[in-house]
Each structure stands twice: as structure tokens, then as C-alpha cells.
């Protein structure tokens, strides 16, 4: 079994790849992953899988062609039965190699992907629809794949992302970790904390949350924008200026990247996902609930699938500052029993639907399903 992705740096795609690689090895498969490599690659050997380094992040047609040749050799040398492509650029090489060798091919659709102009980008994206089974990470993505790309529903399988409950477990976060982070971020005792985790990019909605905090009109709280600017210094500067213009310099803090997100969730009273574009899945909302924290998210994309409105959190219209301020005020008005009830329901909801064990079991079941299909006939030159 060969999984293919651009690199193993950080993110949900990469984490899911490693989780499935571990599940395959545990189930007795020969588990291979091909990518450009990265800091997460060393995890594969620890879980009994093997990494093959190829320049699979490149979109250069010549590199894609060379990658195809390398994958054909790998498939034939290692007797690979099934290839699972998780991203577009490497999927073109993987699909061509699967066609050449007559091997089974599966894809995972991780997002809506930009459609671009004149249909070129849509054709580029369409490689993710060529799997014998197309895995969608939410019902929202499954509907998108069917509506935009015309993929037959009987080829689509929905497998939500799963999180590692051995990591995102309140009982496993020591007080020392929480105290250390609180000191680093200089959080005063006794103030409610609102957190928006996510890289600093405009569509994640940090500006919407800042405006909602300003409209809320409360100074006895702290708001944390947790995430790297990934070189987007212009947007970070815009947010810093917005905080100053709204007179919130002592309320809203941009913390940068956090290496201990479980502790960050434990410091937090409510988690916000204010994305103005639809989230394909929305890992933040699931992680927050797993840690016993209510979540306020925008009412589009996959958020309605992961949040039980009024029971584990609230949904607000995208970009609606007043609605977000109202939801924050509603949460801050809850008594201890109300907060505890939401915490318990959120944790139970995640454990029932969004664990890595569930994700891996469903993915391996799809592999078994595909392997029972007739082998595709080899095609020397894919159309």
C-alpha cells in the first residue's frame, strides 16, 4: 500500500497520512509513504512504515513526468497493490503510474480547491476525482465533489478526519504545562479567555473576531489569536493595527505559533472558528470539543456536521460581527453547570464520531473494498 502526498511538514493531511500508515502496519500491510520528506517523516519508521523521498510537491510538468517513471519502478519493484493520492500535484504522477501498471487508485478530496478561470484549474483539480473510490473528509466536501465535478455518488466515501485522543485529552495535560503557557502569554488570573487557533490568513476571520470583541465592549477578558503568519507579515501588521484602532491592545494578543495546543485549549474558556470561507472539515472545532471547550463557528462548510448547535457550541453567519458578539456574550453568561454540560456533551460527541481509530478503520475498509474490484487494465499512455 502506497500513500502519496507533497511533503511531511505539518497539517491535517500529513497527520492523517501517518495515522493511516500506522494502522496499515499494525494490520499487517506493507505500508509505504512517498513525499518530499520533512520533520514528520521520521514518525513513519516509529510506526512500522517506510518513507520514499521523491520531489512530489513540484507542479512542474517535467518533474511530474519524472516522478511518474520513478513511481512505476517503485510499484513494480515493491509489488504495490493500491495507491492512495492525497494531493493534486503528486496525484497526477500517481494516477499516471497506476494507469501504466494496472494498479488500484484511490484519492482523498481534502478541500474545495480554487476553480480558477477558463476551466484550467478545474481540470488540474479533477485528478482527485479519478480514484476508483473518492474519499471526502466531510459531507460538505462529498456534495461539492458531486456537484462541481460530477463524480457518481456510488464512488464517493465520506471519512471525517480523526484526532488523537491520547493527545487531546484534558486528563493528560499537566497543570505545569498550563501554567507555563499562561506565564508565557502573560494571562491574568480570573479573566475569561477566548481563543481563535489558525494560521494568520484573512479567510480564517481573525479580523471578524477582533471586531466582535470590540462590539462586545468588555475589558475583563482576553482574546488569543494563536497561529503563525507563515510569512504573511502584511496581514499580521493589519491585525495589529486593527487591535490598536479598536483600543484592544490589552485585550487581544497575537501569540504566534503554539507547540502545545492541548495546553492552549485548557487555558481557554471558549474556542472560536470565524472562517469566512467554508471549512472542509474544521479540525479546530473538533479539538476544542475534545478538550471540553464550547466552540463558536461559522455556519457553513462542515461546521454544522461537527458542532451540535446549542449543545456543544453555536453557529453564526459568516462574517457577521454582531452575531459573533452575541454568541460570545451568550457563552460568557453561562453558569458553571451550563459550561460543564457543554463540555461533557462535546467530549462525548468527539469520542463517538471523530477519533483517529474511526478514521483509520473506515479508510482501511475502503482499501479492502477497492482491492476486491477487478484490476484496471494497464494503459501505456493515460488519456
Q: How far apart are CA 284 and CA 262, in angstroms?
A: 11
| pLDDT tens digit sequence for 282-293 | 999 999 999 999
| pLDDT tens digit sequence for 284-329 | 999 999 999 999 999 999 999 999 999 999 999 999 999 999 999 9
CATH classification number, 170-354, choose in 1.20.120.140, 1.10.10.60, 1.20.1530.20, 3.40.50.2000: 3.40.50.2000
Residue 166 has pLDDT above 70, yes or no: yes
Specify the range with the lowest mean pLDDT, choosing from 7-11, 117-121, 136-140.
117-121
Cα 46 to the chain's mean position, in Å? Answer: 23
Task: Using a pLDDT cut of 90, give the percent of the chain over it.
Answer: 90
pLDDT at 118: 62
Average pLDDT over residues 182-191: 93
pLDDT at 121: 85
The phi and psi torsions of 324 (rounded to 5 degrees) equal: -65, -40
Residue 107 has pLDDT above 90, yes or no: yes
Decide whether 2-162+357-371 matches 170-354 in CATH topology.
yes
Q: Going by C-beta distance under 8 Å and a sequence separation of 6 or more, which residues neighbour residue 56? A: 4, 5, 6, 7, 34, 35, 36, 67, 89, 90, 93
What end-to-end distance do the CA atoms of the chain give, in Å? 25
Alpha-helical segments (H) within the chain: 12-26, 42-46, 61-78, 88-101, 120-125, 139-149, 175-184, 206-216, 233-245, 261-267, 283-290, 303-306, 321-332, 336-353, 356-371
| pLDDT tens digit sequence for 139-161 | 999 999 999 999 999 999 999 99
| pLDDT tens digit sequence for 191-248 | 999 999 999 999 999 999 999 999 999 989 999 999 998 887 999 999 999 999 999 9
CATH of domain 2-162+357-371: 3.40.50.2000
C-alpha cell at 142: 462529498
Q: How far apart are CA 346 and CA 311, in angstroms?
A: 8
Q: How far apart are CA 123 and CA 298, in angstroms?
A: 30
pLDDT at 14: 92
Domain ranges of the chain: 2-162+357-371, 170-354
Sign of the alpha-carbon dihedral angle for 24, 30, 32, 38: positive
CA-wise closest residue to 145 among 127, 165, 129? 129
Instruction: Work out the pLDDT band at 11, boundaries 50, 70, 90.
Output: confident
Sign of the alpha-carbon dihedral angle for 206, 224, 160, 318: negative
CA-wise closest residue to 85 among 192, 200, 199, 5? 5
pLDDT at 119: 67
Q: What long-range pairs does 122-126 form, CB within 8 A, spacing at least 24? A: 122/148, 122/149, 124/88, 125/88, 125/149
What's the chain's average pLDDT? 94
Give this prediction's pTM: 0.93
pLDDT at 262: 97
Grouping H, G, I as helix, E, B as strand and the rest as coil, residue 51 is: strand
Average pLDDT over residues 345-372: 97
Looking only at the bridges linking them, the beta strands covering 252-256 and 222-226 are parallel
Residue 383 has pLDDT above 60, yes or no: no
Average pLDDT over residues 349-355: 97
Q: Going by C-beta distance under 8 Å and a sequence separation of 6 or more, which residues neighbour residue 361? A: 23
Amino acid at each position: 500500500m502506497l500513500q502519496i502526498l507533497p511533503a511531511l511538514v505539518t497539517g491535517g493531511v500529513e497527520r492523517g497520512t501517518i495515522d493511516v500508515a500506522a494502522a496499515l502496519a499494525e494490520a499487517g500491510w506493507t505500508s509505504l509513504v512517498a513525499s518530499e520528506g520533512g520533520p514528520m517523516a521520521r514518525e513513519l519508521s516509529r510506526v512500522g512504515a517506510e518513507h520514499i523521498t521523491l520531489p512530489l510537491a513540484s507542479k512542474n510538468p517535467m518533474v511530474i513526468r519524472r516522478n511518474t517513471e520513478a513511481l512505476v519502478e517503485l510499484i513494480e519493484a515493491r509489488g504495490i497493490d493500491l495507491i492512495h493520492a492525497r494531493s493534486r500535484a503528486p496525484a497526477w504522477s500517481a494516477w499516471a503510474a497506476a494507469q501504466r501498471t494496472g494498479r488500484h487508485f484511490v484519492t482523498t478530496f481534502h478541500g474545495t480547491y480554487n476553480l480558477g478561470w477558463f476551466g484550467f484549474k478545474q481540470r488540474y483539480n479533477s485528478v482527485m476525482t479519478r480514484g476508483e473510490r473518492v474519499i471526502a473528509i466531510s459531507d460538505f466536501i462529498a456534495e461539492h465533489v458531486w456537484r462541481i465535478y460530477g463524480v457518481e455518488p456510488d464512488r464517493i466515501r465520506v471519512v471525517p478526519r480523526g484526532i488523537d485522543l491520547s493527545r487531546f485529552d484534558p486528563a493528560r495535560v499537566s497543570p505545569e504545562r498550563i501554567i507555563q503557557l499562561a506565564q508565557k502569554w502573560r494571562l491574568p488570573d480570573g479573566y475569561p479567555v477566548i481563543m481563535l487557533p489558525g494560521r494568520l490568513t484573512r479567510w480564517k476571520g481573525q479580523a471578524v473576531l477582533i471586531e466582535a470583541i470590540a462590539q462586545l465592549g468588555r475589558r475583563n477578558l482576553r482574546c488569543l489569536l494563536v497561529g503563525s503568519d507563515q510569512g504573511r507579515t502584511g496581514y499580521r501588521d493589519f491585525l495589529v493595527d486593527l487591535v490598536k484602532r479598536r483600543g484592544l491592545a490589552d485585550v487581544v494578543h497575537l501569540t504566534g505559533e503554539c507547540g502545545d495546543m492541548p495546553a492552549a485549549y485548557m487555558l481557554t474558556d471558549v474556542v472560536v472558528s470565524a472562517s469566512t470561507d467554508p471549512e472542509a472539515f474544521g479540525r479546530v472545532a473538533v479539538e476544542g470539543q475534545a478538550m471540553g471547550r464550547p466552540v463558536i463557528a461559522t455556519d457553513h462548510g462542515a461546521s454544522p456536521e461537527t458542532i451540535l448547535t446549542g449543545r456543544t457550541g453555536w453557529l453564526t453567519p459568516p462574517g457577521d460581527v454582531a452575531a459573533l458578539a452575541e454568541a460570545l456574550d451568550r457563552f460568557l453568561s453561562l453558569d458553571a453547570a451550563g459550561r460543564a454540560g457543554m463540555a461533557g456533551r462535546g467530549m462525548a460527541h468527539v469520542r463517538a464520531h471523530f477519533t483517529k481509530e474511526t478514521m483509520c478503520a473506515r479508510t482501511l475498509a475502503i482499501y479492502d473494498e477497492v482491492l476486491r474490484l477487478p484490476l484496471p487494465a494497464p494503459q501505456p499512455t493515460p488519456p
